[in-house]
Structure 1
Amino acid sequence: MNIRTERINYSIRKVIANAINNELSDPRVASSVTITRVSVSPDLSRANIYVSLFLESYTQEDVLSALRSSSGRLRKNISNKLRIRKIPKLTFLVDSGMDEALKIDKLIDQVVNEKS
């Protein structure tokens, strides 16, 4: 990945996170989503947006559906705030890295407790 792509990934992540926290009014998204990373294709036609979900009253599919339905508004935000020629199509994916890290932490705690 080159420096330009990394810079665009960072900028898109920042714009989308700001929009989710401050501009989207959908309650399914407001407090339950954290953008963990963004990965744009080399030609900037697509961007995979990895999210971590903190689900309390909505299902994972509800939150992803809300994000998909607001992708047009998010793309508009990107076009207004970044100077890039092509605005990528946004695809939202659940980042399972946090879940895996929690599982590993639990396993480590179990081993430590068994040795004590």
Structure 2
Amino acid sequence: MTELRANRVAEQMKKELGDILTRKVKDPRVGFVTVTDVEVTGDLQQATIYISVLGDEKQKKDTLLGLSQAKGFIRSEIGKRIRLRKTPEITFEFDEALDYGNRIETILRDLNKQ
């Protein structure tokens, strides 16, 4: 039951985060961000938000810095939109799965050429 609720909260947070990041966060360091996944612990106390950023390494680092600075604002916006007793603490991390998938695709393409 707790896992099901955590998954529902994670999906709702993912939906709301997309809106918050595109419309509310005005930090110029935050570039083009896509929320790829949200994982919420079973007790709904912590949430890990996986993001992908369009751009080079500097833009990725600047975006992560901007998001970590806006963490309190983002958390309060989520609290207003989702009815929970306590809004989860949030942490942002890069989604390495996209880079990993691209690397595998490049390797397979090179093997097919040979």
TM-score by length of 1: 0.89
1:56 positional shift? 4.3
Structure 2 equivalent of residue 15 of structure 1: 16
1:113 positional shift? 1.0
Off by >3 Å, runs of 4+ in structure 1: 56-59
How far apart in 1 are the matches of 2:110 and 2:57? 30
How far apart in 2 are the matches of 1:84 and 1:77? 12
The sequence identity of aligned pairs, in percent, is 29
8 Å CA contact 1:24, 1:30 repeated in 2: no
Which deviations, in whole Å up to 9, do the C-alpha atoms of 1:71-111 show, x marking residues without a partner?
11111111111111110111001110000000011011101
Unaligned runs of at least 5 residues, structure 2 = none
Unaligned runs of at least 5 residues, structure 1 = none
8 Å CA contact 1:34, 1:53 repeated in 2: yes
8 Å CA contact 1:75, 1:90 repeated in 2: yes
How big is the alpha-carbon RMSD for the aligned residues of Structure 1 and Structure 2?
1.6
Instruction: Give the letter for the 2:26 counterpart.
Output: S
1:44 positional shift? 1.4
1:9 positional shift? 0.4
Asked whether 1:45 is paired with 2:45, we answer: yes
1:57 positional shift? 8.3
How far apart in 2 are the matches of 1:101 and 1:14? 24
How far apart in 2 are the matches of 1:15 and 1:30? 18
1:29 positional shift? 1.5
How far apart in 1 are the matches of 2:104 and 2:66? 30
8 Å CA contact 2:75, 2:90 repeated in 1: yes
Paired positions, count: 113
1:64-79 matches, within 5 Å, as 64-79=64-79
TM-score by length of 2: 0.91
How far apart in 2 are the matches of 1:62 and 1:92? 13
8 Å CA contact 1:28, 1:58 repeated in 2: no
How far apart in 2 are the matches of 1:57 and 1:90? 22
